[in-house]
Amino acid sequence: MDRSALIPAGSRGVGSAADMNASGLSEQEAVARRARGLGNRIPPATGRTYRQILRENVLTFVNAVIFALSLALLALGQCSDALVSVAVISVNVLVGLIQEVRAKRVLDRIALLTRPRAVVIRDGREREIDPVEIVVGDVLLIRPGDQVLVDGPVVGDGRIEADESLLTGESDPVAKGFADELHSGSFCVSGTTRYEARAVGDDSLANRLTVGARAFRRARTPLQRQVILVVRVMVLVAVSFGVMLVAAAVIDGLPPVQIVRIAVVVAGLVPNGLFLAIAAAYAIGAVRIAGHGALVQQANAIESLSNVDVLCLDKTGTLTSGQLEFVDVRAFAVPEAEARILIGGFAASVTASNRTSRAIAAGCPGRRLPVDEEMPFASDRRWSALVLGGPRREILVLGAPDALRPYLAPDEHRAIDAAVAEAANASLRVLLLGRGTAAPRSAGPSMALSLPKALVPIALVTLRDELRPSVRECLASFAGAGITLKLVSGDHPATTRAVAVQAGFAATSPTVLGEELARASARDLRRLAREATIFARVTPQQKELLVRTLREEGRYVAMIGDGINDVPSLKRADLAIALHSGAPAARAVADLILLDDSFATLPAAFREGQRILQGMQAVLRLFLTRIAYMVLLIAGAALVEADFPYTPKQNAVVTLLTVGVPAIALAAWASPARIDRRRLVSTLLHFVAPAGWSLALLGLAFFLAYLVLGGSPELAQGALTALSVFCGVAVVLFASPPNRGWAAVEAVLGGWRPVALAIVVLSGFVWIAMDAKASGFFDLAPLSERDIVFAAVLSIAWATALRWIWRAHLMERMLGLEQDQVPSTA
């Protein structure tokens, strides 16, 4: 990958020592420059403000419609019905606000705890300030572990090694000396120096890379789009239906109170309770997954994960922890025990510790050696050396085998090359420890010139990138669930491939380079995005392009990243997942944050998402069956010019007992299960159409029979209410079957809780129907035991017939849709 695509050219030659004043500014100069607009103005946060969260949860299309209907009900004098409608949507808004405000507060707390401090040179003295106080021309001191806060050249005499992985994705440190450019978002790994602030605020590289992150994203899941479509369609149906019925009532000369009641019942066709159910399911999921170490920033994140069929992963800092892991030692000229003593002693004796020496020290501990001279590791040299005290001036050199190859005897090359090739095939990193005799100090000013030409190879040290906890198990779990895995990294192809194989990717998977993507036509790009699984040397823009291409191919894409260079692709993905230890910009745009940086959270989150989706499918069956039944029943009653089937309070009790309470319960009780998303609509139709159609026919016949046989309209409405409740309870058991007897459409989910819910609902309704005060409150005419038993027997007969209709696919056969039948569970 051409690093210039990420880091501006001109890293050298920015000026001479005379041009760079390493003594810093005075306080007066800093104040003056800040007044001229040369301060480090921090760009707007990539997260949302509390006002934005409030606006996005309250000012939605559906909320606006329901609030408008509530105002209309209030104007018509139906205060209780208006309050019920407002209460349902208000609870939905409140649940969403609590979840997202909680996530914002946690993120703000993380940002505060991880906010870096700057050490500047002002008036010739070191001073610690907030990064926002930096101005152009400030000289900053940087030490190991410090973050580079603004862009600018090194002006001090010291050399450092900078970790630019959050910017470029490359895991290896980059050496920086006088006049080399440092870039915001990188970190100092080793060394100490000073650098001058040249590009601050919006002009810094980190802020230019994240400029696209400041427009907050909200991705809706298929379930949310499905629910919104249902509600919008029902708003149109309710408005159209209501206008026609009210007009007919006016023409027929019905009293105003009767007209208002008709309008209220028709308005109840809008399933606003769906949003309460989905909000409750999301909130329960967020609470459950919080115990596994994940923060849900977007309420739909858990459910979104269950839809994922492509998972894209960054490498450096995401799959890997940023540390190396010691593997083994292969001795050559000495016994392995002696080789381990020398290797461990070397790691214990270097003054500038880095991740390589720490890994060796952890895997091969040793005692400090008597060191006379030291040449620290540098990326351009690719080796480090120690000259031991004593008259022999013994030198130990540890470095890349190809960098030390010129210093080995030719007859040593074959054995070393074979061992290196074997380690490379195992996707391991290799270092060579050599020993020789150093030249006297007077031989030259640089130890590089005095390395002996006859180094003796002591041993090869093999290392590998340390994977984060549970990475391999997590990816295997996702692959087993049919999710395609893609590793997308800006790092070297060999390093990327080694980590991919270590994480469980197939060793035969080809590696596609960023330069291939740059040359590819649109057709080839789609093919590469679809078929390849390992991408290396890719730029942030190419990461985003890959994610966008996959989405255009109809895939549901999740992206896991931690760096500034991952922000564009995180924003483009259907689901963005970031690590707690990652860049603040990555955390801010993420839907889900792994607080412990552990992948072990993700399988649990995936199962929780499946649970939410399974529960909401059951809830949708309840609501859509209820809507289909009500529309057909009201239309049928209007066609035969019968009385209106329900009063608002009767409709409220039926909705509460057969849809409202069961919806919340089923959403909370659902079990994780794989769902064929391609058949979601057909499965819903297979359930809803027969249930709604047959129940409407039964209800209309039952209602008319009471009217024709001399019953009063009030008694007919009360009896119909009883039948609707009994049949509605049966629908609940069909939607979440407790055993095979009820599994006419869905597989057996098991559990006694739906049965317990049915018993509670039926007992509650029987008490309402038999109690004079309760029945009077809900406009129910007193029902005899015979009326209740008759309604119960009919509901049992209907449920039995409906079970046969489903299993025989009767409706599909009538409509000529046998080829698209949903498989029977019988």
- The answer on pLDDT for 19 being more than 50 is no
Span of 171-180, 526-535, 684-693, 723-732 with lowest mean pLDDT: 171-180
169 or 539: which leads in pLDDT: 539
Helix (H) or strand (E) holding 689: helix 680-708
Encode pLDDT of 69-101 as tens digits.
677 767 766 676 667 667 656 766 776 677 667
Question: SS3 letters for 339-363?
Answer: HHHHHHHHHHHCCCCCHHHHHHHHH
Query: Which segment of 68-77, 121-130, 353-362 scores lowest on mean pLDDT?
Result: 68-77
Q: Give the pLDDT of residue 340.
A: 93
Higher pLDDT, 268 or 199: 199
| Residue 449: predicted pLDDT | 46
Residue 59 has pLDDT above 80, yes or no: no
Confidence check: pLDDT of 568 > 80: yes
Distance set, CA 413 to CA 402, 417, 552 (Å): 10, 6, 51
pLDDT at 150 exceeding the cut of 70: yes
Percent pLDDT > 90 in the chain is: 21
Please give the average per-residue pLDDT across 738-749, as a whole number. 72
DSSP string, 285-341: HHHHHHTTTEEESSTTHHHHHTT-SEEEE-IIIIIEEEEEEEEEEEESSS-HHHHHH
Q: Provide the pLDDT confidence category of residue 824 given band limits of 50, 70 and 90.
A: very low
Provide the pLDDT for residue 261: 60
Average pLDDT value for residue range 290-308: 85
Higher-confidence residue of 246 and 574: namely 574
Q: How confident is the model at residue 447 (pLDDT cuts 50, 70, 90)?
A: very low
Least confident of 62-71, 358-367, 785-794: 62-71
Residue 274 has pLDDT above 70, yes or no: yes
Residue 499 has pLDDT above 50, yes or no: yes
Question: Residue 688: is its pLDDT beyond 80?
Answer: yes
Q: Is the pLDDT of residue 12 over 50?
A: no
Question: Where do we find the tokens 């019925």?
Answer: 245
Least confident of 37-41, 43-47, 267-271, 790-794: 43-47
Long-range contact pairs involving 47-51 (C-beta distance under 8 Å, separation at least 24)? 47/104, 47/107, 47/108, 47/216, 47/588, 48/100, 48/104, 48/216, 50/101, 50/104
| SS3 sequence of 702-768 | HHHHHHHCCCCHHHHHHHHHHHHHHHHHHHHHHHCCCCHHHCCCCCCCCCCHHHHHHHHHHHHHHHH
Residue, of 533 and 60, whose pLDDT is higher: 533
Instruction: Give the H or E element holding residue 422.
Output: helix 413-425
Cβ atoms 343, 360 nearer than 8 A: yes
Of 572 and 214, the structure prediction assigns the larger pLDDT to 572
What mean pLDDT do residues 348-370 have?
87
Identify the pLDDT of residue 106.
66
Q: Is the pLDDT of residue 14 over 50?
A: no
Q: Which pLDDT does position 335 carry in this prediction?
A: 92
Which stretch of 95-109, 331-345, 349-363, 760-774 has the lowest confidence by average pLDDT?
95-109
User: Average of pLDDT values for 634-648?
Assistant: 78
pLDDT per position as a tens digit, 762-802: 998 888 888 778 787 777 888 888 888 999 999 999 999 99
Domain 321-467 listed as CATH 3.40.640.10: no
Share of the chain above pLDDT 70, in %: 82
The pTM for the full model equals 0.72
C-alpha dist (Å) from residue 483 to 92, 312, 486, 531: 32, 10, 10, 13
Task: Give the pLDDT confidence of 197-237 residue by residue, as tens digits.
Answer: 888 887 877 777 655 544 555 678 888 887 788 778 877 87
The confidence band for 542, taking pLDDT boundaries of 50, 70 and 90, is very high
Handedness of CA 105, 109, 111, 115 (dihedral sign): positive
Q: Mean pLDDT throughout 637-648?
A: 77
Q: What is the mean pLDDT of residues 137-155?
A: 87
Closest alpha carbon to 314 in 590, 634, 694, 613:
590
pLDDT score of 69 = 65
Would you say residue 584 has pLDDT above 60?
yes
What is the pLDDT confidence band of residue 577, given thresholds at 50, 70 and 90? Answer: very high
Residue 665 CA: distances (Å) to CA of 284, 495, 659, 745, 754: 11, 50, 10, 20, 8
Residue with tokens 């720490």: 358
Q: What is the per-residue pLDDT for 822?
A: 46
Question: For the residues 403-421, what does the mean pLDDT come to?
Answer: 87
Average pLDDT across the chain, whole number: 80
Q: Where are the domains of the chain?
A: 321-467, 676-826
Instruction: Say if residues 468 and 598 touch (Cβ distance below 8 Å).
Output: yes
**Mean pLDDT over residues 803-825, rounded?**
68
Please give the DSSP secondary-structure letter assigned to residue 77: T
Is the pLDDT assigned to residue 448 strictly greater than 50?
A: no
> Looking at per-residue confidence, does 181 or 91 come out higher?
181
Confidence of residue 13 (pLDDT cuts 50, 70, 90): very low
- Find the angle CA(651)-CA(735)-CA(635) to the nearest 5 degrees: 40
Q: How confident is the model at residue 563 (pLDDT cuts 50, 70, 90)?
A: confident
